[in-house]
Structures are given as C-alpha cells and as structure tokens.
Amino acid sequence: MPVLNEHDYLERAVATVLAQEHDGPGELILAIGPSTDGTTALAHRLAAADPRILVVENPAAHIPVGLNLAIRAARYPTIVRVDAHSELVPAYTRRAMETLTRVRAANVGGVMRADGRTDFQRAVARWYNSPIGLGGGAYHSGGAEGPAESAYLGVMRRSVLEEVGLFDETIRRGEDWELNLRIRRAGYRVWFDPALAVTYWPRESWARLVRQFRSTGTWRGELVRRYGRRNALRFFAPPLLVVALVASLVVAGLQLGGVLTGTAALAASLVHVPVVAYLVLVLVVSLAPAGTRGVRERLWSLVVLPSMHLAWGVGFLIGITRGAKENVDTSRLRRNTPLP
C-alpha cells in the first residue's frame, strides 16, 4: 500500500486488509511517503500493534517507486495491491486468489466502487461509477468476467512481476495500465472479475479533484506518445471536448465581434453543436432526480462532471504535445507542502 498524507483514511484501510479471509500467511507493507499530516506516525503505531505490518520509507513519494519498494520487501508469492483510499471486503483476497488459479491469470482485478462521505465526494463517486464520467472502463462500471486490458489495483503473481521488471518508475500516473501492457505482451493473462469490488473514496475537494485529473490526463498523453494506438479510443474523448470548446469560444468571439457575419456566421455556428449537446447532456444527467440524491449533491454533480472531463482533456493535450516532463500529482499534498 503506497501512502502519502492519508491520516483520515489509513487506519480503516489497514483494518480491512488485516481482516482478509484467506488460507495461509499474509503481510501488509506500507510504503510511506514524506507525509505532513501525521500519517507516518500513525503508520508506525499500526505497525507496532500488529507484527503483520511492515513500514518502508518512500522518500520519492511516487506511487510506482513505493510499490516496487513494497514488492521487494515482500516475502510471499502473491502480491495484492491496495490503496490507502480504498477498503476491501473480507473475502476479496480469497476470491482473487481463487480466480488467479481458476483462469490461470497473472493479474486479476475487479470493480472500483466509489463512495462518498460528503455531498461533493458522493457527486464525484457518481461519475466514477458511470460510463458518462470515466468512459466505460469495466473496472469503473462493471461488465462480464473475462480477459482485460488492465486491472484496478490487482492481485498479481510475483514471479510474473519480476519477469517483466516490476512497475516502471518513470511513469507517475497510469503505471498500472503500462505494467499490464507488459504483462500481456509477455504472453500472460490479465483478468477482470466483477465479483471483486473495492470501495474507493475520491478526493475531498474540487481543487484536489482538478489537480488529480489534470495530472492523470497529462500522463495518459505521455503514454499515447510512448505506445500510440495501444491506448483505447475512449482516452481521446476529453481532449476532443477541450478542442471543441476552444473552437466554439473562438467562433463565438468572431461572431460577436462582427468578423463573421451572414452566411459565414451561420455556417460557422455548426461548431457550437457538439458543445451545446454536451452541456445539455451534463444538465440532464446531473440534475435529474435519482434515488436519495439531494439538491446539493446534484448541483455538485453539475460542476464535477465537466471539471473531470476538461481537466483531464487539458492535461492530455499538454502530455501529448510536450510529454509529462516528470509531472507530479499534487492532489494528495497538503497546502504549503514542498514537492520532493
């Protein structure tokens, strides 16, 4: 479990890991980044209270670096990747290991079930769980069991990880997708099992959400630079939305300024159609009553959906044009925390 500034989530995440029901021994290795919110002290207290917990330092603070440190410190042949913002059901590990054996896979993952504690977080969780929000990947919205492009978190055979070279430490976001690409290239199977579900708690504020999605989009642009069309088509939708919005704003400015008039202005108005259609979609799906969602949650949904898409799309365009250039996701850093 890579950890950075997760004081409010760590104890519960650790408890769900230690409560796993599976045959045989196990351990939990916490790769702790230079946190500023008391996370490091909490991690050491948890380790002192349970011999199954080992703390390793991750001064670089980057997720793939921390994962590799934890894997190298591990003693057992199966690696279960977990996140400090996630919670596992008790049968998760047992089911995943059974699936690994049953389908002879190298990596098995399930569904990310996003949830929230506040109206904002629940609004974010709604779009995490929706094809409209994150593009319909199986681990976000579910689907049939079978071979997969990637796996959320992942329960992996250590021997395969060592064969393909562990996580690529030059990739700060999207490291799991790139690892699974190498696993599949090596001839092994990556598997999606919808019976596996992990509770995930999204970012707690709009600013952190935007920083997270901009960084993720930037690294996806970098991955497209490196691997081209091995990236799914859904990754290109947010940058196309950004381009369409910029084109619409430019044309609107020319129309309002009288540069485009008459037939030319009418023809140019077609550029507004995709943007208007998107805005209508956002309004309809965000504000429509659904279940127990209150007014504040629906209003946050109206803000969150375009924020996710546009931040990701802007990041993608930056990443694909000039590369990620060691871009760092600062959404887990506290205010005034210096970058490592």
The residue ranges of every structural domain in the chain are 2-202, 228-322
Backbone φ and ψ of 83, nearest 5°: -125, 145
Look at residue 53 and give its three-state secondary structure: strand
The amino acid at residue 249 is: L
DSSP alpha helices (H): ranges in 236-332? Answer: 237-256, 262-268, 273-287, 295-322
Q: Which residue, among 190, 180, 187, has the nearest Cα to 106 in the 3D structure?
A: 190
Output the pLDDT for position 181.
95
Question: How many angstroms separate the CA atoms of 149 and 205, rounded?
Answer: 30
Look at residue 198 and give its three-state secondary structure: strand
Question: How many angstroms separate the CA atoms of 278 and 313, rounded?
Answer: 14
The amino acid at residue 113 is: R
Q: Which residue, among 103, 205, 230, has the nearest Cα to 155 in the 3D structure?
A: 103
Look at residue 265 and give its three-state secondary structure: helix
Tokens for 103, please give them. 């389908």
Output the pLDDT for position 336.
41
> Within the chain, which residues score under 70 in pLDDT?
135-138, 140-141, 290-292, 326, 328-340
Tokens for 60, please give them. 């670089």
Output the pLDDT for position 232.
85
Cβ atoms < 10 Å from Cβ of 262: 7
Q: Under CATH, which architecture does the 2-202 domain have?
A: Alpha-Beta Complex (3.90)
Over its C-alpha atoms, the chain yields an Rg (Å, rounded) of 21
Output the pLDDT for position 331.
67
